[in-house]
Amino acid sequence: MNRVDAGRRCPWCLGSDLYRRYHDEEWGVPVHDDRRLFEFLILEGAQAGLSWSTILNKRDGYRRAFARFDPVKVARFGARDVRRLMADAGIVRNRLKIQAAIGNARAFLEVRREFGSFDAYLWGFVNGRPLQSRRRGMKDVPGRTGVSDAISRDLKQRGFRFVGSTIVYAFMQAVGMVNDHLTNCFRRAPIASLPRSGSSATLRGK
């Protein structure tokens, strides 16, 4: 995939091999696994005020520090874990973000108890189907949408933090709720043609 002409990739990913691999292999592919959804939720919140490349470079550190993103384990973290994480150079050592990640794990489990899975709750906002955009250039890609506004509002009401609409829209792009690969990007069509997953998203609203 790395032999693909740069003009056929979204330009934001051209800064490093790590960025290109993330773009080519993960970004925009629909995610329905709760643990991976939790991982992206925490990583997108950690990115606030920083570059996504910073977070990608620390991703392995986050996986180690946050129990491979097991929300049940993270929800049990206490003051000792906060001190441990504040001393861990492998992650972003921001106390508010660390405490938010732990609180978000607890809120995540509450959502899962209510809806059967976080996947069902989240994908219900788009009726279980990825939104297919047709962005011709980076200037056409919004920072937020009405859907991200609605998700952000609901998450905040449920006690989640670092889930503003801009963060939520980046999360939606990452987990494939919206296919924002540009129209000339070689990844757009393959992702658009993926079969609808047998997710539990239809549980929302029952």
pLDDT tens per residue across all 206 residues of the chain: 445 666 699 999 998 999 999 999 999 999 999 999 999 999 999 999 999 999 999 999 999 999 999 999 999 999 999 999 999 999 999 999 999 999 999 999 999 999 999 999 999 999 999 999 999 999 999 999 999 999 999 999 999 999 999 999 999 999 999 999 999 999 999 999 987 655 544 444 33
Q: Which of 19, 27, 52, 121 is catalytic?
A: 52
17: part of which helix (H) or strand (E)? helix 17-25
The DSSP string of 157-168 is HTT--S--HHHH
CA distance 136 to 5: 17
pLDDT at 145: 97
Catalytic: 44?
yes
Question: What are 131's strand-pairing partners?
Answer: 178
Catalytic: 123?
no
Between strands 131-132 and 178-179, the pairing is parallel
pTM of the model: 0.91
pLDDT at 205: 38
Q: Which of 44, 62, 123, 169 is catalytic?
A: 44
Catalytic: 27?
no
pLDDT at 199: 53
3-state secondary structure of 179: strand
pLDDT at 47: 95
